[in-house]
Structure 1
Amino acid sequence: MSDPLGYLFGSESLLVGTLLPFILVLAVVVFVHEMGHFLVGRLCGIGVQAFSVGFGPELFGYTARNGTRWKICAIPLGGYVKFVGDINAASAPDGKAISSLSEADSKVAFHTQALWKRAATIFAGPAFNFLLTIAILSFFFASYGRVVADPTIAEVMPDSPAAAAGFKPGDRFLEVEGTKVDTFSDVQRIVNGRSGDELSFLIERDGRRIQLHAVPEVKEQTDALGNKIRIGLIGVTITRDSGNYRRVEYTPLESVGAAVVETGHIISRTGTFLKRMVMGREDKCQLGGPVKIANMAGQAAQHGFEWLVQLIAMLSVGIGLFNLFPLPPLDGGHLVIYAGEAVLGRPVPVAMQEMFFRVGFFVVLGFMGFVFYNDLFAC
């Protein structure tokens, strides 16, 4: 090894080129998520014992005058806000601990608050993740606009689903599966995640409207960061020579609206992918864990800071959506319990909550083991 320092600390090294971007990306997403819990909880009058970015041993921190311990911990794979009365970082209920609280602590304990306050505090974490994505996309749309392509076909690939369905150059997409499309990206958004499904296309050809049907087939492509991805394609292309490309400029207000719509599309695509994966219709290697995220962070960092910020936006949506799964210790699991409380008209028995938390914990642990195995051995 001719340059050991360059190997360890160079821009493409494991430490500087991969681990540091990964920690930065994850820390921002986790901080925003936990800040959502913290801010709404404090607005609701709930006491906070600790705010942590990371798990495990504390590396450094300080205690604020209100008693909250702010800290950075050694394992950068998450974080937590621990409210007064919580048995642990996952806000699992502890009947004995709650009954032994002082009168002052009982007034600000999480589990003694009104149902709407607890639900709002829990939902705020994922909501802040979605808001972070909206804020980032709004900034990019307002600053740079967006280059889009009209949904007009320039070429139909031979022996493709589109060729078999009767598509021709010059056809213009109007609707896909009943959804109006304005750009070629709109078409891709629907088609890419629906391989193997017969889709209905409404097109315009020579002033006439024609209904065609095609089944997207799975093809392997390389994304902007150089990763191999498998997506559904019907086999049509557009080219810059076709004159289809145009730049859309946004006012600040319009950029927020466009960012909200785009964030909704990301959530919808992610939900569709997860549903199809459970049904065995998606490649499990497309589901990445910490190792894959770290590699993507390193690749994004090599492309520049803007790419890293865009990765933060995409990851923030994923983290927010994952936390809404109806399993404790995730936020969605808490919301399920609160829904049960609303239906029953009284708190769900603590013993039942504790059992629900144990089952959910092992399910989530199994899922994390699955993605780790995917990252390290299967894909």
Structure 2
Amino acid sequence: MIQSPGLLLTILAFVLVIGPLVFVHEMGHYLAGRWFGVKAEAFSIGFGKEVFGITDKRGTRWKFAWLPLGGYVKFAGDMNPASQPDPDWYLLPAAERAQTFQAKPLWQRAIIVAAGPFVNFVLAFLILMGFALVYGDGRTPPIAREIVAGSAAAKIGMQPGDRIVALGGRSVDTFDDVAKYIQLRADETVRVDYERSGRAVSADAAVGSQMLRDRFGNEFKLGLLGIAPVKPVWVPVGVAEAPIVAVKRMGSILTMMVDSIGQIITGKRPVSELGGPLRIAKVSGEQLALGIPDLIGLIALVSINLGFINILPVPMLDGGHLFFYALEGIRRRPVPPAVQEWAFRGGLIAILTLMLMVTFNDLGSFGIWKSLAGLIG
């Protein structure tokens, strides 16, 4: 077992993961705004009181704040979380008002807002494309080399040489597809479609479960079908094919994210599996201890998460703004300010509640609650 990284290494890794991702996300907003002639008053990495910063010749204050859990770009005319202007905005000279966020047409405001999540996806795409070029692409066919006795696969009559073509109605191309699907469905019943000597066979398998412990002592409950793969196949990837491989990997990651969230919402997976900044810091330290490539891979994963979460239609997030812009486009007029204000207040409450919950979970993953229970007991 690898020794868990110390506090300083964990903090360093967390900064190396979150810092660039926040910067890239906000830079997407900033560059899109600048492209459309919107003045940026502030570009902040972190929230709260400024630690240090500089002001450039365009009047933008570039700063670092004391709470490094996010960031923001404050555009001229963008006065509150609902992107509504201050009443004094109407008193600005025409030239100054033209450089404000609210003066821009709807489609430009939508692009500025969407640019943040978009560059997160672009960053992940570039990392995954680089990995494909360096390491190639795993294409082990979904063929059973061996069936574990007493396993879910054995109970439905699978035999060595059978080729899985679909799980739960979702087609699979590689053994990796099989593993990712099954791992999320411990103790569930899954339809397995497979081929034997060209003949199609279908059966419902009761997926087993297993508790695994990683190299840092973390335990995970994973689904188990009970088939051993044939010899792994890794194929070199050229420059022309690398983008295709990267897109497929991003699609696979997004699919797993949606599946996981859906299982938590439906109660198939415990809410305790939701993690926040503290758990990200813990995993960051562990990945850095394994090596720089592992840390870069984590950056790609977190970047996809950040982009995906921000496009959800939740007030306070980029997706919430885009949702109201869509309504504005349909209605041909903005949603009433009072409605937006209440929606964003609700969104803020929901996000703060979620943050409290994931922080509670994170502390549990560090063993805090078990330790307290032991002291009380």
Shift of 1:201: 2.2
Corresponding residue for residue 134 of structure 1: 125
Partners of 1:147 and 1:216 lie apart in 2 by 24
Shift of 1:182: 2.3
AA aligned to 1:20 is L
Corresponding residue for residue 28 of structure 1: 20
1:60 aligns with 2:52: yes
1:39 aligns with 2:31: yes
**Could you list the per-position Cα deviations for residues 311-359 of structure 1 after superposition, in whole angstroms to 9, with x for gaps in the alignment?**
1000001111111222221111111111111121111122221111111
Partners of 1:327 and 1:195 lie apart in 2 by 30
Partners of 1:223 and 1:105 lie apart in 2 by 57
Shift of 1:283: 2.3
AA aligned to 1:27 is G
- Shift of the 83–284 alpha-carbon distance from structure 1 to 2, 3 Å rule, reads same
Shift of 1:160: 2.4
Residues 94-243 of structure 1 aligned to structure 2 (within 5 Å) = 94-223=85-214, 227-238=218-229, 242=230
**Could you list the per-position Cα deviations for residues 177-228 of structure 1 after superposition, in whole angstroms to 9, with x for gaps in the alignment?**
3433221001122222334543222222234332222132343223576532
- SS of the residue corresponding to residue 144 of structure 2 reads coil
Partners of 1:358 and 1:178 lie apart in 2 by 40
1:81 aligns with 2:68: no
Consecutive aligned runs of 4 or more in structure 1 exceeding 4 Å deviation: 223-226
Q: Work out whether residues 83 and 91 of structure 1, in 8 Å CA contact, stay in contact via their aligned partners in 2.
A: no
AA aligned to 1:289 is G
Q: Work out whether residues 77 and 86 of structure 2, in 8 Å CA contact, stay in contact via their aligned partners in 1.
A: no
RMSD: 2.1
1:275 aligns with 2:265: no
Q: Work out whether residues 85 and 101 of structure 1, in 8 Å CA contact, stay in contact via their aligned partners in 2.
A: no
Percent of aligned positions that are identical: 39
AA aligned to 1:231 is L
AA aligned to 1:335 is L
- SS of the residue corresponding to residue 240 of structure 2 reads helix
Report the TM-score when normalising by structure 1.
Answer: 0.90
- SS of the residue corresponding to residue 108 of structure 1 reads coil
Partners of 1:39 and 1:217 lie apart in 2 by 49
- SS of the residue corresponding to residue 280 of structure 1 reads coil
- Shift of the 351–207 alpha-carbon distance from structure 1 to 2, 3 Å rule, reads closer
Shift of 1:299: 0.4
Q: Work out whether residues 82 and 91 of structure 1, in 8 Å CA contact, stay in contact via their aligned partners in 2.
A: no
1:13 aligns with 2:6: yes
Corresponding residue for residue 294 of structure 1: 281
Q: Work out whether residues 92 and 354 of structure 1, in 8 Å CA contact, stay in contact via their aligned partners in 2.
A: no
- SS of the residue corresponding to residue 161 of structure 2 reads coil
- SS of the residue corresponding to residue 245 of structure 1 reads coil
Corresponding residue for residue 368 of structure 1: 355
Q: Work out whether residues 138 and 258 of structure 1, in 8 Å CA contact, stay in contact via their aligned partners in 2.
A: yes
Shift of 1:155: 2.7
Report the TM-score when normalising by structure 2.
Answer: 0.90
- SS of the residue corresponding to residue 174 of structure 1 reads strand
Gaps of 5+ in 1: 1-10
Shift of 1:23: 1.0
Partners of 2:166 and 2:342 lie apart in 1 by 48
- SS of the residue corresponding to residue 259 of structure 1 reads helix
Shift of 1:152: 1.5
Partners of 1:101 and 1:355 lie apart in 2 by 27
Corresponding residue for residue 6 of structure 1: none
Partners of 2:218 and 2:33 lie apart in 1 by 40
Shift of 1:267: 1.1
- Shift of the 47–215 alpha-carbon distance from structure 1 to 2, 3 Å rule, reads farther
- Shift of the 263–234 alpha-carbon distance from structure 1 to 2, 3 Å rule, reads same
Q: Work out whether residues 92 and 357 of structure 1, in 8 Å CA contact, stay in contact via their aligned partners in 2.
A: no
Residues 301-340 of structure 1 aligned to structure 2 (within 5 Å) = 301-340=288-327
AA aligned to 1:247 is W
